[in-house]
A and B are shown apart, each in its own frame.
Chain A
Amino acid sequence: MNDVRTLGEFGDDHSDGYSKRHTELRFTGNWFVDAGILGFVNLMEEVYGWSLEDLKKFLKESPETIYYWYFPIAFVHHNHKVRDTGIQLPKEALSEADCKDNLFEEAWNLICKHYSTTTKKGKEKIDLGSSGPYYYFHNLLFFQPGRSKEKQKEDFMEVIGIKAVNKEILIHMDKTINKFLPSADESSNVSYVKSFVETSNLKYLLPNFVFILTFPFAFLSKDHYKANTLFYSPNLSFTYNVNKRLEKLLESQKQYKSILNVTWEAILDSIMETESIWSLENMYMIKYNVGKNQRLLSAEYIGIPKLQANIILDDTIRNALNKNVQVRNKKNPVWVWLLEEFIKNKPLFPLVLNNLQLRINEINMYTSLNTLIYTLSTDNQIKYLEKNKLFTPDFFKKYRETLFNIKDDFRKMIAPYNNISKVFTRDERDKLSRPLISTVRKRNRKAFTNILLKALLSKNNSNQETIKSLNKYLFDNIVLNDKNWENYALAFIAGLVYGGIEDGRYGEES
């Protein structure tokens, strides 16, 4: 028995039924194909009520039944369901057919029986419309208004892999099949291929091409977000779970939140349940809008940088950043979600500065000191890594040490907290914080140090050990620190603003 096969032989898996790799439902790593796989799962769930686990089990037991019997009926029925035609799902039992051709023949007969219609010219065809998600396939193959029933059947057989693929649009896939692909004209400069996705290559990955028909079902479509959105990670279960949660959250939310904000809620919930934490490093939000004539109006990919994903994996830091803080935007105070800003790789320092200014000057609101200090220490490390660009000798070493360094910075920044409240009274802290924050805003280290040293000098009756400790913080982290003294200065001001053991609020979450 020879287990070794040449590359060409891999394509022959269909000859003796489905190989193991084709009966297992899992992602391929290519988001364009994987979106189709997720869409397939969603379609089967919506029509038959099967969960992902159910579908996986059924596919293992009998893949032919799923692809040749259940799928064509589900696809046609779902098309009617979207248009609200009122036709019920056929209840006819599956006969004991074991041949894939017979299975499809029987499914097709059932489809003809329940979903046929007669055109104005008197031709009989399967009624397929292009409403809702089906607009993505407007006029494609069996959706064409003039397509006869026989032609439609042929199209289906090619897509589900019963018949050899003959149609050019299925052999060399381009924009006609999926709006995210370039059209053949657009890629004319690539002389050696007619398209980037060819069925001859796809067949090594997939048992058939049903996934090209299920692509739009992977996306969530909510009117108020005006875009079809998909959360994608290379793990099927994780992606499925997050999208399910996302759908529920979008339906249940009372006030408008950004889609990324809601997605993160879904992701964080799913992390607790699944063990797919590694997926965090490769997540994408894919959005699209299809306008008239099926033009793709906008497509947006939101990758989450590896560094940020790495940091979020830490429970303590994630919990600290998973907070909304109030900041002033133009004239009005607005709420900003720190985690979202962090994922978008935006600087966090201005948010903490803005939040503290708002608290000092106007609003009597409370933000957890833990959150503020973790935000500053995280921002500190991100700045540091950005300065140490790739190709510097210690880049990878520093990259790995980031989590440790953030926590180390946190410990340093929180250190003067208790001493501040020992030395200064509430009133003194309030008075001192105003000029100090102004110096940080102007990036004036000299003025910051001067004001603070004068304030410490006026407290010569306080415990000398306490003064010495604050003095040391000031010297080590402000005077000697040219790179990011502002972060330490702001942490000190946060201690002044929110400090005070008597307040009993240390570590309290907002």
Chain B
Amino acid sequence: MADMVKRVKKPISEEELKNLKYLTNKTFSKIGSENYKQKLAYNLLNTVKADDQRQFFWILLRAFNSRKDDGDIKTLSSKLQRIYPLTPVDFEKVAYSIIMGIISSESEYGGE
């Protein structure tokens, strides 16, 4: 019976994307060096290019692993858990929001 019920996912809203970017920005101000973040962003961009959602989140979660007790990381992880898996269109937007959050993290929070 449960299989008969189709679950239709709502598209990710603009507000949610802005929030994701903000949270990523805040989180990555505490993670890694500039070079590390640059390399990470490059790798993430390649997964977006290849439409590889699984690989994208695998790389991202591995980056979180070093500070898994941090409150912001917990919030961000739970948000990602809620929206995963994503439609291709939503994945593109979510991925770029996260990558842009990473790229601009240093200037806003003066990361390590």
Contact = CB atoms under 8 A, between A and B. Distances in A.
Interface of A: 445-447, 449-450, 453-454, 456-457, 460, 464-465, 467-468, 471-472, 474-475, 479-480
B107 A479 contact: no
Contact of A474 (B18, B92, B100, B107): B100
Given A471-B100, A474-B100, A480-B14, A457 B41 contact: yes
Given A453-B96, A453-B99, A454-B42, 10 more contacts: A446-B49, A453-B45, A454-B45, A457-B41, A457-B42, A457-B103, A467-B103, A468-B107, A472-B104, A479-B100
A460 B38 contact: yes
Interface of B: 14, 17-18, 21, 34, 38, 41-42, 45, 48-49, 92-93, 96-97, 99-100, 103-104, 106-108
**Which 10 A-B residue pairs are closest in the complex by CB-CB distance?**
A464-B107, A468-B107, A479-B96, A468-B104, A471-B104, A475-B100, A446-B92, A450-B49, A480-B14, A471-B100
Contact of A453 (B14, B21, B103, B107): B103
A460 B34 contact: yes
A454 B48 CA distance: 12
Contacts of B97: 475, 479
Contacts of A445: 92
Contact of B96 (A449, A456, A464, A468): A449
Contacts of B93: 479-480
B85 to A, nearest CB: 18
20 contacts: A449-B96, A450-B45, A453-B45, A456-B103, A457-B38, A460-B34, A460-B38, A464-B106, A464-B107, A467-B103, A468-B107, A475-B97, A475-B100, A479-B17, A479-B93, A479-B96, A479-B97, A479-B100, A480-B14, A480-B93
A455 to B, nearest CB: 11
Contacts of A471: 100, 103-104
B28 to A, nearest CB: 13
B42 A468 contact: no
Query: Of B38, B45, B93, B103, which is in contact with the most chain A CB atoms at under 10 Å from its CB?
Result: B103
Nearest to B92: A446
Given A475-B21, A479-B93, A446 B103 contact: no
Contacts of A457: 38, 41-42, 45, 103
A410 B99 CA distance: 27
Given A446-B48, A460-B34, A453 B17 contact: no
A41 B49 CA distance: 69
A480 B19 CA distance: 12
B107 A465 contact: yes
B25 to A, nearest CB: 10
A457 B35 CA distance: 10
A460 to B, nearest CB: 6
Nearest to B103: A471
B34 to A, nearest CB: 6
Contacts of A456: 103
A464 B37 CA distance: 14
Nearest to A480: B14
Contacts of A467: 103-104, 107
Contacts of A465: 107
A242 B48 CA distance: 58
Please indicate which of the listed interface residues A445, A465, A475 has the most CB atoms of chain B within 10 Å of its own CB.
A475
Nearest to B107: A464
A383 to B, nearest CB: 19
B68 to A, nearest CB: 26
A475 B34 CA distance: 21
A75 to B, nearest CB: 70
Nearest to A460: B38
A434 to B, nearest CB: 18
Nearest to B18: A480
A450 B103 contact: no
A480 B17 contact: yes
Contacts of B99: 453
A467 B100 CA distance: 11
Contacts of B34: 460
B43 to A, nearest CB: 11
Given A453-B103, A467-B103, A475 B96 contact: yes
A364 B96 CA distance: 35
B13 to A, nearest CB: 10
B29 to A, nearest CB: 12
Nearest to A478: B96
Most chain A CB within a 10 A radius of its CB, from B92, B104, B108: B104
B92 A453 contact: no
Nearest to B48: A450
Nearest to B11: A482
Nearest to B41: A457
A464 B108 CA distance: 9
Contacts of A479: 17, 93, 96-97, 100
Nearest to B108: A468
A199 to B, nearest CB: 64
A458 to B, nearest CB: 9
